[in-house]
């Protein structure tokens, strides 16, 4: 009797006999010219996706399990030069299955509770009472999002807790840099860094697993820079924050993409706004490099679109 | 006895004996190396400016009359290759002097009351009650500005009533174009056109004569596109305008510069926003051409910075 | 017995039984590895195209009917994930078939005769006898083209009567704008607008249905801006038009793409040339938006190449 | 008694006593505040220009000698930090004065008669009778210009015989290159190279000495690329040159600036047009370098605008 | 019995029976779903490539003959709309087969020995003993490469002896141009031209046939401009060449791509460096045109990526 | 008797009587038209420069004191609208004068000895013996420069110890960032950061006070990126550093300007090279902001060329 093994999608090779849990994507019931029923679909985990086929399908998995975990058993073959999973058993995952969702859904390489707690601690170091009050309120209003959503649709940080990871890393950098460059107002820098991407929660459509599936209409027509600045303006007004401080924060949000051609609504014109835009770019590029090099053999990678170049993985 | 004539500044020639009213700019009391007192200044009307000098000055005109009309008498001479007004009498203009401020201060070539009235009539043709309600409120809040301020610091429409002229012309174009292109929502187009530059009132420092002397800090850090959209968002919220309609208007204000490199916060993505950005560019360029060609002899003009070229004045 | 319905190509769904008239494109007789003959082709109407297949083909339709209407009957199935028309009867359309060519060939949404008549009326309002004489002669020389050809190979106005529609709309705009901007010479503007795209007749290869299939060699090497200016120069010389007026018209034709990077041979340097280039851009963009939004559901469209963005279709 | 020396303008130093011939530029009679008459002007030779002053002037040199050679005697002093020629004698140059116009007016470093003769010989090597016939006619029509005018207003080749030098050098290069790249049609290349800049005669206003003082209106509005192509089209038509050959030549003229952003009306799309545009750029840059380095000490030059860089003069 | 013919790959048509020698590329043994073995591969000569299939394959050609010549016999059929070579006999080419490698591998259209000899003769005309000494040493160190490698991975000169052809042509141009522009130092120009691309030998991975298969890691991270300059610096130092001359040569190598956006490490700042960069561009473009037009029917070609345009092949 | 005060140049106002030490720049002896001798010059300290004049000058200060400190006494007046220092006593500064060179020469706001010591400590934390060995050798060879020279000619860090300050700050950032991004090789990053600007010592001409007066010829023709990489290549070779590590360091030096249009010889293609280029930009921009805002009143600054914008100084 054949021995089934568990395999990450990326590691499956032809002739493997595999059993395990995967996300079910795009299940489509079909019929051959001979009238034979079958189901095509894709199976996914965090390592990638594989085409699947299941013969003599008569069920309703394609209605009940789209985007949900299933348990499958079958063998890997090759079809039209690509690997294919020939499934012989398939069912929905059950409550008590030994299932690790983190292996199925891309997730930030951080401990989200610990990171959130450290972020809150950093906010607590803000001295200026107005900036602190505003951050506390913005945190309260956006808590459910900042604790979970990605920071991008693709390219980098496009996984669960991506926004938390990106925001926290940048706040650490802001804290560090304000020591080197004392003419920078640390409170303003920390507050602006904390708020800079919060409106991404209004910019993304999220799947049931918390991944970005598309931009919202207001994401297209208004953008998270404007929507974030608008919320800061509104909350500042409600809390009685001074006009000057509110303006400085709005300016940081409007300008944090650095240049109009990168999407900034205005060019950064304060020390804090310039620094924020550079730290945003730095953390985005470094995370992009991390994702590109992870698991990459030594040598040149393929061209990385967002860098405009290949990368070299050295020892 | 010498006969004094009245002259526009641009038409003064050496040896003219001139008497008339001009704006007094930059009056500076000075002393020669021999201890002789004198006053230097510039005299201006809508046709230009000329350097002036007044000997044996002991008064306080430089404190009381800066930027105000004065009556002067004197002769035109040449100094260091440039024309100079040698003033022999100078005094502040009085209430009952026969003085035409329109000849001294650049003013739009329109009848402001008539134009304002026609603009209001056009607003009244908006059918959609929400767009109409919003425009009425925006008009009420900005009435004192839209009736008088320039639409620019320099380049074009940089005169009194410039914003009124620019807005009214564009609303006429919007009205006309919506007949040719019926897929355009006329009400939305008119409302967006009316609102698009209102926040320039927050972007400019104005002189006592209503000309732009500089940008405000919020003009630099936030810009009139954002401040206008913010006001639309706020007013819409107060009036209970639908989210969709408010978003469509905010989008038009944010995008009306057409491209990020021209200052748009987002690219125009609705038929009405694309059309608004083109009509804004068209009216600005045509006004710039009018100002460039006015009084210009046939032939090539100097290079016009905002066009990137010279213009040819033909018969 | 099966009931056949008529369907626009875009509305066909799998399992439809369809009968109707379509254009026959790219018919290619083929043979299976078993020696069985068949014909592959595409069937088109104004709504789109569908792949077709006809078994046991022995005829000569592929020689006589390329690009012509045929009558077909058959069923819609799916092949390799795309819809396919399995034809069981096919023949050339006959003279007396109830056939509406406008449903098969893309056509401007105007009444061409009426529009042409209004265009001629507008030309008749030109006061300057030299500009009028030139336009009358250009009309006479290009009449057969301006009455029918498209204004583009693709992107926008790429249908029958496209040039007529585009030219007429722009002449209306020219007429309107010359009232607002009185420093513009209305006669010159109307004449230049009328002539600006006439040389597209030399730039395009046309199919038998009047659609653009390709650019001519002179379209590539010389372009319609130059060829149009050349014809104006030649006709002006023959008619004794003054050098100055001829030059002003040639300049408008050479510069009507606005900027060198958009194909202008020189930058526009007269009020009329600047305005023409903006009206050309405006009408092209608005028509592109019309074509993009037509039949589009509310929501974001796909990215529109010529706009560099998506569009939002609102209610 | 003081000894007067002759000096090139660039070599004059303060306290020199100088006598010689120079061009008189911008003579302007003036009067001091004390009523004393004097004349200011500039004196020029090929090495540069110097400000001049002549006291107690009562004559009419400023009307009769503008831009003509005068004989002057005087001393060099310093005024406002710049050298000034204090003239004590000045008169118009006479017919029999020992005057070398080549020392006064910038002139190409070639023997114009010899160069012209070699250019004609090169034209004579064209084998194709149509291209040859066209070149002979173009030569006949433009002979007076090609023998004398500059090839530029400034930057490079902006001296007498500049067009002849530039055209001849490029024809030599065309001849040489057609041997290396046999797929290039030598006759077409030579003909296009000969014609490419001839319309500069219509693009420039020339001073009485044959230097470019400005662009003509048609130079601005039409440009020499278009005017040259137009003349080729017209002459080809009159001589019955084939449409294809005429088009190939027009294409070379329209495209010889290489790229739209450098002024090309269309991009070069034949082997000959691409090569012509590169040889034009090459000869222009090399002449610019020659003029920049001539008389330059070893070391870095100032920034050369048309190169976008400094140059290094080595030993 | 069927008659087999020899065919260049580009000239094969469906139903041909073909026998001949081709390079074997990408041979891959496969198995059908029924367990039948077969081999897929591509067959190549200088005219192009064709997909091939060989049934009932049991051998080891795919291990021993990759990238080597094989003798095949079979027929041309069509599969999925593309031509396919159905091979019925296939074997490795033998020593004594009548095989012309030049018909299989892209090779420069020059006589490499003769060209090399002329290149050496040109080097011998360098008068300056330091430049000559350096060239002799660089030749000695790079002889095996300059005699054979391509000058590019693709685009142009991507064939055997490409570097030799490109270098020799440019040295001829350098020799010619130094006569026209005597301010150019001929010795420096020839030396820099000879050395400019030698480090391409370090930039490319070469196949066993001497074609470029990829860039090396140092080709990516350092580039041939830097590696060439580094070798010149090192060799100059070893040979005691003066610092100034060594610097001038290093500068030419670092700058020979003309502009930073084309890969130059610094902008060319000597007459020789500017000229070298233009001759490099000129020879590259002309070779690209030669390769594009070769065998091309009259008419417009497809768009040529490296030119940014189509080309027109005239008679 | 008049009371003399000491004043920073920027704080001098008209009618001040001033005594103090300043640098003497551009002293030029002159003579009036009446034969009276005087000396013009500029006096400078770290706060700015002022024009100076000294009557009846007969000495040789202009030969012996150029660029050196002098002691002056006099009064501030206004000439042609600008402040002028009317000097009545002037002499060279003496050994025992109470003179603070740091008030006269721009100097980094760091303790150079302390900073150098910390930099050396950081180098000492490099673990990899090859990178450490190379850094030690590079430090030894460049010690005299890294301890004193500026990091720029102007714009930012253009003061004594500028290179030390910039290098040390960036090494601290490198140390910090390598903790956040563990896929970055800390040793390589620190080594590359230490070496990245060392070749600026070969790129600058330095004044006797250690300020940059100009670029060297090799600075222009080769640049510090290439010269630095060359030195790393040479030293690595001498020390037997592995080829891979040497290449990685050379790559970081060649690419540290980030993009070709900012002067990078190649684009950064390793994690360390990308990070280095971002930290270089970040520290340069932050120092530029520090210098711009220092002593600036709240409000908008003038446009800062290297930022492409104005800055806003808030409270």
Summarised one tens digit per residue, pLDDT across range D101-138 is 888 888 999 999 999 999 999 999 999 999 999 999 99
Task: Mutate one of B272, B289, B301 to test the C interface: name it (highest C CB count within 10 A).
Answer: B289
CA C9/CA C65 separation, integer angstroms = 19
Q: How far is CA E239 from CA E123, E132, E202, F312, in A?
A: 17, 11, 22, 58
Burial class (CB in 10 A: 0-12, 13-18, 19+), E170: buried
pLDDT band at A34 (very low <50, low <70, confident <90, very high): low
Give the Cα separation of D19 and F68 in Å (integer). Answer: 43
Question: Looking up tokens 């990871």, which residue turns up?
Answer: A165
Supply the pLDDT for residue E52. 92
Residue of B nearest to D40 (CA): B81
User: Looking at residues A179-193, what average pLDDT do you find?
Assistant: 97
List of chains touching D (3+ CB pairs within 8 A): B, C, E, F
The torsion angles phi and psi of D123, rounded to 5 degrees, stand at -60, -35
Confidence at residue D79, expressed as pLDDT on a 0 to 100 scale:
75
CB atoms within 10 A of CB D64: 11
Q: Is E172's CB within 8 Å of D180's CB?
A: yes
Q: How far apart are CA F170 and CA F154, in angstroms?
A: 19
Q: Does residue B154 surpass a pLDDT of 80?
A: no
- Residue F42 β-bridge partners: F25, F51
If we measure between CA atoms, which residue out of B275, B265, B277, B193 comes closest to residue C288? B275
Supply the pLDDT for residue A207.
79
What does the pLDDT look like over D285-308, one tens digit per residue?
999 999 999 878 899 998 888 888
Nearest by CB to B261, which of A221, A250, A260? A260
Looking at residue A256, its pLDDT comes to 98
Q: What's the predicted TM-score (pTM) here?
A: 0.90
pLDDT at A281 over 80: yes
**Residue ranges of chain B whose CB lies within 8 Å of a chain D CB:** 299-300, 310, 312
Q: Nearest 10 degrees: CA dihedral of C105, C111, C117, C123?
A: -80
The separation between CA D115 and the C-alpha centre of its own chain, rounded to angstroms, equals: 16
> In Å, what is the CA distance from F202 to each residue of E242, F145, F256?
17, 10, 17
C-alpha gyration radius of chain E: 23
> Average pLDDT by consecutive 10-residue portion of chain E (315 residues)?
82 89 88 76 88 88 84 86 88 88 88 96 98 97 88 83 96 97 97 97 86 91 98 98 98 97 96 98 96 90 89 94
pLDDT averaged over every residue in chain B: 91
DSSP string, C55-118: ES--S-HHHH-TTSEEEEEEEEEEETTEEEEEEEEEEE--TTS---HHHHS-B-SS-HHHHHHH
In this prediction, residue D149 carries a pLDDT of: 87
Q: What local confidence, expressed as pLDDT, does residue E2 receive?
A: 65
**Do chains E and A meet with 3 or more Cβ pairs nearer than 8 Å?**
yes
If you ran DSSP here, which 8-state letter would residue C10 be given? Answer: G
In the numeric block, the tokens 């080749």 are attached to D157
* CA distance from start to end of chain F: 43
Q: Which of A157, A269, A298 to mutate to test binding with chain F, by most F CBs within 10 Å of its CB? A: A269
3-state secondary structure of C219: helix
Q: Which residues of chain C fall below pLDDT 50?
A: none
Is E221:F268 a contact under the CB 8 Å cutoff? no
Tokens representing B21 are 């009213």
By the 8 A CB rule, do B249 and B236 touch?
Answer: yes
Residue B80's pLDDT is 66
Reply yes or no on whether the pLDDT at B244 is more than 60.
yes
H or E element at residue B144: helix B129-146
Residue with tokens 């100002």, as numbered in its chain? B291
Gyration radius from chain D CA atoms: 23
Say yes or no to pLDDT of A1 above 70. Answer: no
The pLDDT of residue B105 is 87
Q: In this structure, what DSSP letter does residue A123 have?
A: H
**DSSP-derived 3-state class of residue C158:** coil
Any residues with CB less than 8 A from the CB of F236 and at least 6 apart, and which? F134, F245, F246, F249
Q: Which residue of C has its CA nearest to E298?
A: C217
Contacts for E139 with CB less than 8 Å, ≥ 6 apart: E120, E123, E146, E194
3-state SS string for chain F: CCCCECCCHHHCCCCCEEEEEEEEEEEEEEECCCCCEEEEEEEEECCEEEEEEEECCCCCHHHHCCCCEEEEEEEEEEECCEEEEEEEEEEECCCCCCCCHHHHCCECCCCHHHHHHHHHHHHHCCCCHHHHHHHHHHHHHHHHHHCCCCCCCCCCCCCECHHHHHHHHHHHHHHHHHHHCCCCCHHHHHHHHHHCCCCHHHHEEECCCCCEEEECHHHHHCHHHHHHHHHHHHHHHHHCCCHHHHHHHHHHHHHCCCCHHHCCCCCCCCHHHHHHHHHHHHHHHHHHHHHHHCCCCCEECCCECCCCECCEECC
Q: How far apart are CA A202 and CA A184, in angstroms?
A: 30
Verify whether the Cβ–Cβ distance E269 to D185 is below 8 Å: no
Q: pLDDT, tens digit, for every residue of A102-120?
A: 888 889 999 999 999 999 9
Sequence-distant (≥ 6) Cβ neighbours of residue D90 within 8 angstroms: D54, D61, D70, D71, D72, D73
The rounded distance, in Å, linking the Cα atoms of C191 and C273 is 11
Q: Is the pLDDT at A70 greater than 80, yes or no?
A: yes
pLDDT at A35: 67
Closest CA to A229 of B261, B200, B222, B202: B222
Q: Which residue has the higher pLDDT, B16 or D189?
A: D189
- pLDDT of A142 > 80? The answer is yes
Contacts of C315 in chain B (CB under 8 A): 244
Look at residue E191 in the predicted model and tell me its pLDDT.
98
Residue of chain E nearest F262, judged by CA positions: E260
Give, as one character, the DSSP assignment of residue C297: P
Helix (H) or strand (E) holding D27: strand D17-31
- The yes-or-no reply on B/E contact (3 CB pairs or more, < 8 Å) is no
- C-alpha triplet E239, F204, D306: angle, nearest 5°: 90
Q: What is the pLDDT of residues E138-165, one digit of tens each?
A: 999 998 888 888 888 877 888 999 999 9
Tell me if C269 and B294 make a contact (CB, 8 A cut-off).
no
Phi and psi at residue D103, to the nearest 5°: -85, -15
Task: Assess whether pLDDT exceeds 90 at residue F275.
Answer: yes
F124-138: average pLDDT? 98
Contact of F142 with F201, CB cutoff 8 Å: yes
User: B9 with B47: CB under 8 angstroms?
Assistant: yes
What's the mean pLDDT when you consider all of chain F? 91
Residue D278 CA to residue D292 CA, distance in Å, equals 21
Query: CA of C277 to nearest chain A CA: how many angstroms apart?
Result: 25
pLDDT of residue B314: 95
Q: Which residues contact D236 (CB under 8 A, 6 or more apart)?
A: D134, D245, D246, D249
Give the separation between CA D151 and CA D206, rounded to whole angstroms: 11
Q: Is D31 helix (H, G, I), strand (E, B) or coil?
A: strand
Instruction: Measure the CA–CA gap between B51 and C202, rounded to whole angstroms.
Output: 60
Coil, helix or strand at residue C29 = strand
Long-range contacts formed by A242-245: CB under 8 A, 24+ apart: A242/A130, A244/F314, A244/F315, A245/A128, A245/A130, A245/A131, A245/A188
**pLDDT, position E123:** 97
Rounded Cα distance, D25 and D207, in Å: 12
Is residue F265 within 8 Å of residue F225, measured between CB atoms? yes
- Count CB neighbours of A288 within 10 A: 20
**Residue of chain B whose Cα is closest to the Cα of C169:** B180
The Cα–Cα gap between F132 and D100 comes to 71
Least confident of B96-100, C59-63, F151-155: F151-155
Distance from CA of F280 to the nearest CA of A (A): 11
- For residue A261, list chain B residues with Cβ-Cβ distance below 8 A: 260-261
With beta carbons less than 8 A apart as the criterion, state whether B265 and B227 touch. Answer: no
In chain E, which residue's Cα lies nearest the Cα of D272?
Answer: E286
Size of interface B-D (CB pairs under 8 A): 8
Mean pLDDT of A65-93: 87
Mean pLDDT of chain A: 91
Residues of chain D where predicted confidence (pLDDT) is lower than 70: 1-2, 32-35, 80-81
Of the ranges B217-231, D101-115, F91-105, the best mean pLDDT one: B217-231
A247, B223: Cβ pair inside 8 Å?
A: no
């Amino acid at each position: 009797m054949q021995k089934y093994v568990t395999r990450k999608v990326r590691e499956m090779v032809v002739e493997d006999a595999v059993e395990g849990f995967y996300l079910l994507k795009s299940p489509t019931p079909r019929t051959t010219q001979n009238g034979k029923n079958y189901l095509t679909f894709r199976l996914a985990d965090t390592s990638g996706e594989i085409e699947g086929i299941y013969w003599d399908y008569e069920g309703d998995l394609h209605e009940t399990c789209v985007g949900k975990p299933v348990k499958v058993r079958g063998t890997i073959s090759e079809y039209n030069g690509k690997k294919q999973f020939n499934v012989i058993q398939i069912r929905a995952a059950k409550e008590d299955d030994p299932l690790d969702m983190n292996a199925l859904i891309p997730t930030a390489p951080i401990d989200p509770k610990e990171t959130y707690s450290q972020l809150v601690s950093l906010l607590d170091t803000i001295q200026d009472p107005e900036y602190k009050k505003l951050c506390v309120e913005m945190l309260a209003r956006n808590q459910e999002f900042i604790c979970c959503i990605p920071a991008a649709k693709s390219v980098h940080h496009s996984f669960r807790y991506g926004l938390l990871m990106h925001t926290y890393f940048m706040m650490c950098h802001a804290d560090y840099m304000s020591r080197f460059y004392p003419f920078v107002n640390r409170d303003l820098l920390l507050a602006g860094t904390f708020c800079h991407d919060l409106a991404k929660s209004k910019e993304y459509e999220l799947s049931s697993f918390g991944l970005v599936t598309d931009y919202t209409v207001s994401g297209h027509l208004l953008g998270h820079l404007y929507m974030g600045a608008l919320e800061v303006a509104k909350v500042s007004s409600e809390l009685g924050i001074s006009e000057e401080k509110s303006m400085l924060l709005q300016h940081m949000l409007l300008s944090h993409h650095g240049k109009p051609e990168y999407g900034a609504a205005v060019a950064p014109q304060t020390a804090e706004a310039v620094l924020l835009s550079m730290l945003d770019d730095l953390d985005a590029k470094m995370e992009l490099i991390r994702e590109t090099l992870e698991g990459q053999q030594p040598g040149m990678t393929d061209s990385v679109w967002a860098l405009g170049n290949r990368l070299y993985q050295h020892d």
